Amino acid sequence: MTVIGHNLIRRVESFDGYDVLAHPLPNRDDRVFQRGESDTSRVSITYASHDVRIARPTGIGGKSRLAILMHHGRGRHVLEFYESALPIAAALLALPEREQYALAYALFEQADECASGARASEAKRWADAFVDGRIRKRRSAGRRYVDIETPDEKTLRLS
């Protein structure tokens, strides 16, 4: 449940409502990646628990959006983003299966990591404002609004 720009990672119960364009590495055993030459290095990384699919949402506006569907131990999650003028789907689907999986996984994880950083930054901003006494509450037309003042606004208000 994170937002990066207009891209939303959300938890879903099922992947109904999506047309799957590609399901790279559907077999769990194929999601083990070796580092370097497989004969020289026995170090490997397994992504067997992370199932990734590339899809398009069905319904209105689905043609201009692309989705990465991720199913892992924390449940089913969807990252949707707009393709705009860039042929992201065509470029992603033209890749071999292992590269499709790696790139879709990297896009999903990067979006999730960016969202976590944004949440932490926003929490720190509100905590600092609380300590400094810069949180302002007001009512207008029966609704409540909460804002953070800048240090300059607080100085001006107190002078």
Tell me the pLDDT tens digit for each residue of 37-75.
Answer: 656 656 666 677 788 999 988 887 777 788 999 988 888
Q: Is the confidence at residue 125, as pLDDT, over 60?
A: yes
Task: Read off the pLDDT of each residue in 131-143 and give the average, rounded to a whole number.
Answer: 92
* pLDDT classification of 123: cutoffs 50, 70, 90: very high
Q: Is the confidence at residue 134, as pLDDT, over 60?
A: yes
Selection from 125, 121, 101 nearest residue 113 by Cα: 121
Res 1: pLDDT: 39
Predicted TM-score (pTM) of the model is: 0.72
For residue 24, give Cα distances in angstroms to 30, 41, 95. Answer: 9, 25, 10
Selection from 82, 73, 67 nearest residue 47 by Cα: 73
